[in-house]
A and B are shown apart, each in its own frame.
Chain A
Amino acid sequence: MPFALSYTAAADRLDFSLAQSLTVIALCALTALISNMALAVFNDGARPFLLDFIRGNTRRGEMTAVSFGLSAGFVFGLGAPMALSTGVLNPWLLFLPTDILGLLAPRRWLAPILGGAWGAVVVFGLSGANNAAHDLPVDFLTAMQEMATPILFLFLLFPVIAIASQFGRVLGAVAFVVEIAIVVISMKAWPDHFPGALAMAAGVLMLLGFALARDLRNRRAAAAPAPPKPADAPGAARIPLEEKADDKPAADPMASLFGANAERLRRHLPWFALLGAVLAAMVNLHIFGGGEATSFLVPKGDYGEAAQVDFYRAFGFLPLIATTALASGAFQIVGFTFVYPLAYLAPNVAVAAVGGAVLFSVEILALSYIGRGLTMLPSIRDASDHLRNAIGKTLEIAILFGAIAAAAKMGGGLGITLVGGLYLLNEAIGRPIVRLAAGPAAVVVAGIALNVLHWLDLFTPLKG
């Protein structure tokens, strides 16, 4: 049956082989060690604060508090519910805690022990919880697979939303029509494949094309006589030349900061090569989804689709990761996330590991050039902000829709009341759980509640 009409994920259980468990534990030990050395953290928000930590202006305790404050919500609000509902591991569940544990460890040798222990908790604890949940009379984890269709088929539109918010309604409408046309044609021409892949590629290319065109146009405009008040023109006066006349330092402070930080990362290149290798090996075992959408594709075995989705997603994060890395002297634990597509597609663990090591080395060495390029092309940086915003918005709708579908499947009207009600309650009390995870978390809570009601003889499970 065509892909678009029959998309249901396999009812997967979290069962990790010994080799898989050991790889996850080894990776968690390594990422905690690297976080302890302040070489890389996964949380993009914590990274800017590492600069003062590396310079010795922030104490370990304060840094740990910052990291914990920025990460905890994503571990319990995004990573854990996603892992429970998809049956595969994700970076929020593994690497946010190892960020915190690595920064917390007062002695270097303690960091890998704490990290490895977290890895063990995840592999053994999660598989236990997951398998227990599947055996309940109301199987809410199987119902959760209703999420896959809305996520896949709305996510493919994220470049359109980004184009509309950055370049206005005309180009937004054009991009929408182009993407839908490509989806329709793909469904006809290759019925067995995910029809969004090509559409997403076209969308991202359109966005990058529009952004480049705008930058080149602005550059030409800037070459003409400058307006009298450059500070008021958005995007103008990138480095105010008139300021150099007075006592301000002649050297660009941004360039010198970026240069020193890039040099620090290059000095530790072997560590990053090792990290890239172990990370790619783990991802290649197909027990891990790198993004929100891929967490639903990997358990189904659609590695080709997963690779494409995460490849396009990476463009939303590349400028953010490059900028925060250059501004802080610490890299992203998963690099520019290109390691995900590489490792999904690698034919075996050895190839993945070698590829991961090479990829991370290249990323570290290219960092300075990427930073310089981004300074010259502000619209590309803007485009990535809009891309990430669009990814968030499309997934928000898709995941909420999927959660309601899952609720209907496991509990009919009562299910919708419980899941929709919990979602709205979370909104009303200031959103302690991030919107992206509120739906899946509500399904888990409602599923447990329905099982209790069933046990009290107050609810009869629907037969699917």
Chain B
Amino acid sequence: MTLLDVKDLSIDIHGIRPLDGISFSVDKGEILGIVGESGSGKSLTALSVMGLLPLIGGRIERGSISFDGTELTTLKEPAFRKLRGRRIAFITQNPMTSLDPVIRVGAQIDQVARLHLGLDAKAAQARSIEIMEQLRIPEAATIYHHFPHQLSGGMKQRIVIAMALAADPDLIIADEPTTALDVTIQAQIVDLLVELVRERGLALILITHDMGVVAQTCDRVVVLYAGRVAESHDVTAIFASPRHPYTKALIRCIPREDTLPGSLTGIPGAVPSVAHYPPGCRYHPRCARMGVPCEKVVPPLEHPTSGGEIACHFPESNGGANV
């Protein structure tokens, strides 16, 4: 069943609109990937769902975010606070800076259970250590008393994940949880997250710029470009036949074993900044398939019979439906 349903979401930050009509949904036990280069609006999507836009001076302009039947866009802050950390948990990008440096890591995990589950200090500590052990943190009872600066990056990210799990949430939003880590640690952390979702039946939104991670972990994927949905579909379908030129380009960026060092290429050009979105399809200045309408007409988000969604005037035809 649908746990989180985001419909036609647009946000406003100081008079600009970095997210423009985003829709997606996540079911229980499902892993949804949200993919795009930096600047495409992935992190803002996370903040919108968490109700934390006001922190950066933003607000929801239009659309709805429905979580387990509750409408979040109109939810008052005290009620929202009971959801945050309790039912929707957040894992941030950089574990190096995500923990309060002057508080012992154990106490930072305790905080969540004490706040949301009403546990006393002792019970919270027992629970935190138990979760740390489940996350395969060695000598959890010792690490519990450490300060963040005494831990490695991978260990810190496990602490952040422990914080996210502390109140048994239904949905975890992980914003580039591995970007700041070593390559070997990255795989461990991703595996850990996937395992948690499968074991506990959680829903996970995995925000990443890496299509390779999506291929390994996600069930479905939403591709964002410059604040709009470019394409979304099941992971198998999207890798079998990407239809949006941007999706295709992202897939081409995945490094393969046979790629020669140095031949790894990104997509030429960069995501336009929010203040300078081009008219029409926002991808057209970088698109090889660009045609006449792309410069002027915004491609509508269509729902082809083959499933998924696509917003492109000239989609790749091998998908079959829109020829």
Do these two chains interact? no
- B interface vs A, CB < 8 Å? none
- A interface vs B, CB < 8 Å? none
